[in-house]
Amino acid sequence: MKLSISRETGVWLILVLATAAATYFSVGRQLNGSVAIVVVFLIALAKMRVILFEFMELRHAPLFMRLLADSWLISLFVILVVMFLAPTHTV
């Protein structure tokens, strides 16, 4: 008997494992707060890329659209990390 898993099921399992990893790093005390934020954002970035390319069919899109999507994801990641790690000044 051969066990075969469809591509969509495999991708879904990867997304579930990524969600579990993000929860582990955000809820647990394994990492420093700032490092945990960056790790959780990186996991979220990877999940968004998987969803865009696998479920929204960007993997078959023209190169320009794929590069635009990757640029948007990287820009979003940088903006979020800078916002969360920037020192807050209170008066």
Which pLDDT does position 1 carry in this prediction?
63
Q: Name the region of 57 (left: φ>0; alpha: ψ -120 to 50; beta: rest).
A: left
The stretch 33-62 carries a mean pLDDT of: 90
Give the pLDDT band (50/70/90) at residue 86: confident
What's the whole-model pTM score? 0.79
Quote the domain boundaries for residue 54.
22-85
pLDDT (0 to 100) of residue 77: 93
Number of domains in the chain: 1
Residue 33 lies in a domain: yes
d(CA 27, CA 42): 16
- Residue 44 covered by a domain: yes
Residue 14 domain-assigned? no
Has residue 62 been placed in a domain?
yes
Whether 76 is covered by a domain: the verdict is: yes
Task: Tell me if 16 is assigned to some domain.
Answer: no
User: Residue 68 above 80 pLDDT?
Assistant: yes
Is 13 part of a structural domain of the chain? no
The number of angstroms, rounded, from the C-alpha of 19 to the middle of its chain's C-alpha atoms is: 9
